[in-house]
Copies of this chain bind each other. A is one copy, B any other.
Amino acid sequence: MQPTTTTTEREIAEQPQSIARTLEVNHNEIEALGRELSSRPVTAVMIAARGSSDNAGVYAKYLFQGFNGVPVAMATPSLYTFYHTPPRLKDIFVLGISQSGQSEDIVEVMAEARRQGALTASITSDARSPVAAQSQHVLKLETGPEKAVAATKTFTSSLALVAGLSAAWQQSQERKTALSALPGLASATLAAARGPVDLSAPTFRHISRCVVLSRGFSYCIAMEVALKLKELTYVTAEPYSSADFQHGPMAMVEPNFPVILVAMRGVLHDHLVELAGQVKQRKADLVCISDSPQILELGDSRLPVSEGSPEWLSPILAVMPGQMFALRLSQARGIDPDVPRGLSKVTVTR
């Protein structure tokens, strides 16, 4: 890899430190919120977020359902901002995720939740932002300023906060201990993926489209890697859960079609091995992001993730080779990743 030259690249490299600092600084607030969640009736969770933060919300959806046993719904902000017919939120835990804390529609969801007496919390970089102002609990992203337009370090730190909150809510010491190993594994992943990404990404410089597949806890990472590709390379990158993909869009795969598969160790491993076989049978050009040697083996390109994290934490590592891949592909296509066309850092939507 060349010397670090772009802001995007620097911020990708800062992730291990950002995650460590974010978890450390928020330790007490996470514990307090976890205790409150485990001591009051919470019938469901509602998550309000946009863009990369929405992908962090999908991660939360799997963790809060799988470990904390509550149904999780993604908010539909237009019902608050345009239709003015929000649902009943009384015993709902409403979590807003907004890096800037400025998004009007997220503010509106949080404000309505407060009016209805719901328990509210937000994940944001700005503790004085409008989203934070509507939240009883604020978990602050301690990443330092994120200057690149494409979110990277705020994304992984948001996931780390979600992971910490789920563990605190469950009061699981085992999970908290696993979380403490994350920054080290993140450093190792960034180092291990560098060479393979530098070799592989430029060879995709002529693609105009691709799909990104995963399932389960890492499904959110397929969504996030696809978003990075769209933001940084203008490639039409579509994320799919493997099950949805098999329900139709598989038809798109013709010889040489680029498929990125995010497939981590765990209960979905063998299912995803099978999926890899199906797309290879159609002669796809397969990029595997994985901590499993068996999965990597199946890829035409192999982007390794450090082994050693439990499946529920591994998405936070898996996104990193994907971010690096999008960055290098951007550069190979002659794009300045720090200034992608037509994007601004703060998007205010109702």
A247 with B88: CB separation less than 8 A: no
Say yes or no: is A310 at the interface (Cβ < 8 Å to chain B).
Answer: no
Query: Which B residues touch A350, using CB under 8 A?
Result: 243, 271
The listed residue (B50, B77, B236, B246) touching A347 by CB distance below 8 A is B246
A283 within 8 A of partner (CB): no
Q: Provide 19 A-B residue pairs closer than 8 Å at the C-beta atoms, listed in order of the A residue.
A: A51-B248, A66-B83, A67-B85, A71-B87, A78-B216, A78-B268, A208-B208, A231-B248, A231-B249, A234-B252, A234-B254, A236-B238, A238-B238, A242-B349, A243-B349, A243-B350, A247-B347, A250-B343, A251-B343
- A227 contacts partner chain B, Cβ-Cβ < 8 Å: yes
Nearest-neighbor residue (CB-CB) of A253 within chain B:
B342
Are B83 and A216 within 8 A (Cβ)? yes
The CA-CA distance from A62 to B78 in the complex, in Å, is 9
> Shortest Cβ distance from A336 into chain B, in angstroms?
12
CB-defined contacts of A250 to chain B, threshold 8 Å: 342-343
- Across the interface, A78 reaches (CB within 8 A) one of B46, B86, B215, namely B215
Do B282 and A342 have beta carbons less than 8 Å apart? yes
Does A54 reach chain B (CB closer than 8 Å)?
Answer: yes
Check if A308 is an interface residue, CB within 8 A of chain B: no
Residues of B contacting A209 in the complex (Cβ-Cβ under 8 angstroms) = 208-209, 236
Chain B residues whose CB sits within 8 angstroms of the CB of A252 once the complex forms? 230, 234, 236
Point out which of A67, A88, A243, A342 has the most chain B C-beta atoms below 10 A from its C-beta: A243
Q: Mark A325-350, 1 if CB is under 8 A from B, else 0.
A: 00000000000000011110001011
A79 at the interface (CB under 8 A from B): yes
Please name all residues of chain B whose beta carbon is closer than 8 Å to the beta carbon of A61 when the two chains form the complex: 76
CB distance from A270 to the nearest CB of B (A): 10
Q: Closest B residue to A67 by CB, please name it.
A: B85
Question: Could you say which of A61, A86, A216 has the most chain B C-beta atoms within 10 Å of its C-beta?
Answer: A216
* Contact pick for A79, options B62, B234, B249, CB 8 Å: B62
Once the chains bind, are B253 and A51 in contact (CB under 8 Å)? no
Question: In the bound complex, what is the Cα–Cα distance between A347 and B77 (angstroms)?
Answer: 32
A70 contact set on B, CB distance < 8 A: 87-88
Q: Which of B236, B248, B340 contacts A343 (CB 8 A)?
A: B248
Q: Is the CB of A349 within 8 A of B247?
A: yes
